[in-house]
Amino acid sequence: MMMKLAGALLLMFLVVHGVECQLQVGFYSGSCGLAEFVVKTAVRQAFINDRGVAAGLLRMHFHDCFVRGCDGSVLIDSTSSNTAEKDSPPNNPSLRGFEVIDAAKSRLEGICGGVVSCADILAFAARDSVELSGRLGYDVPSGRRDGTTSLSSEASSNLPPPTSNVGQLTQIFANKGLSQAEMVTLSGGHTIGRSHCSSVAPRLYNFNGTAAYATALKQQCPQGNSNANLVVPMDAISPAVLDEGYYVDVFSNRGMFTSDQTLMTNAATAAQVGQNAGNRMLWSAKFAAAMVKMGQIGVLTGSSGEIRANCRVVNS
């Protein structure tokens, strides 16, 4: 039932808006028919070893699309003369899952070299992560090409920090062509994965209540700790399951970040939080449609960009 509802909403979205920028479902059916299967296999193998990789790949796709569009620029390594997106403060050390993209790309280059873009591999991997962690599948329009520029400064200026308020979040998403409702919907991705204590601290140590959850978090994230790798689960109950738990937590004042709990400070966004908290199927369908729309931000198609042979390095 959930899959059917997601499919219906997604179809309605595509009919109304069109699959823009020459992206299409099944883009590789004639040139590399195994493309999506190869990516799914790589993601599944990684997920078996570490279920947390699903959250990493989902977040990586989001961070890719919000900087220069969905062009795989987040995958490019830094060089002696340039600090790339992946090494910017919003991404390092928190982004993970690069080795999954590398594995899929390596296999695809052996099957159909120079055909499947890194940007598409990342979009497929994010979808597969959603399916594995939330039993929610959807079709991904593809045909993206890879960008050739990756700048740390652009990640810092385009990605919403965890201290954002609802007005700032609304504007950041609007800048990418996404509505406030879609911002609330995509925020639900925070129901899986983990957070570094440095991102939690601003809200945690300005929390005025005496909630047991806050007390427990303070034990896991001591004030003033200098361990940059200290992490806590985003959802203490089901950290590896993509579900409505995020909205239940926010509704109950247990949002991990300021940017999560701020959704309760606006009447419209608070209403959506309550609706999503009580209707997993509806949120799942909206999430699938919003992921497809996000995946079309600023894409390169046709003769723009390139198809990288190695996702970490721009072609010479």
Tokens of residue 151, six digits? 């700048």
- The answer to the question of whether 191 is labelled as a binding residue is yes
Give CA 59 to chain center in angstroms.
3
- The answer to the question of whether 87 is labelled as a binding residue is no
- Please tell me the distance from the alpha carbon of residue 216 to that of residue 207, in angstroms, as a whole number: 13
- The answer to the question of whether 67 is labelled as a binding residue is yes
Which residue in this structure is represented by tokens 């800048």? 175
Which one of 17, 61, 63, 196 is the catalytic residue?
63
- The answer to the question of whether 64 is labelled as a binding residue is yes
Is residue 63 part of the annotated active site? The answer reads yes
Eight-state DSSP code of residue 280 = H
Q: List Cβ neighbours of 156 (8 Å cut-off, separation of 6 or more).
A: 88, 89, 90
- The answer to the question of whether 249 is labelled as a binding residue is no
How would DSSP label each residue in 191-258?
Answer: GSSEEEHHHHHHHHTT--S--HHHHHHHHHS-TT---TT-EEESSSS-TTS-STHHHHHHHTT--SSH
C-alpha count within 13 angstroms, C-beta hemisphere, residue 117:
26
- The answer to the question of whether 56 is labelled as a binding residue is no
Burial grade of 137 (CB within 10 A; 0-12, 13-18, 19 or more): middle
- The answer to the question of whether 69 is labelled as a binding residue is yes
Q: List Cβ neighbours of 268 (8 Å cut-off, separation of 6 or more).
A: 180, 181
Annotated binding site for substrate: 160
Annotated binding site for Ca(2+): 64, 67, 69, 71, 73, 85, 191, 235, 243
Active site residues: 63
Annotated binding site for heme b: 190
Annotated binding site: 64, 67, 69, 71, 73, 85, 160, 190-191, 235, 243
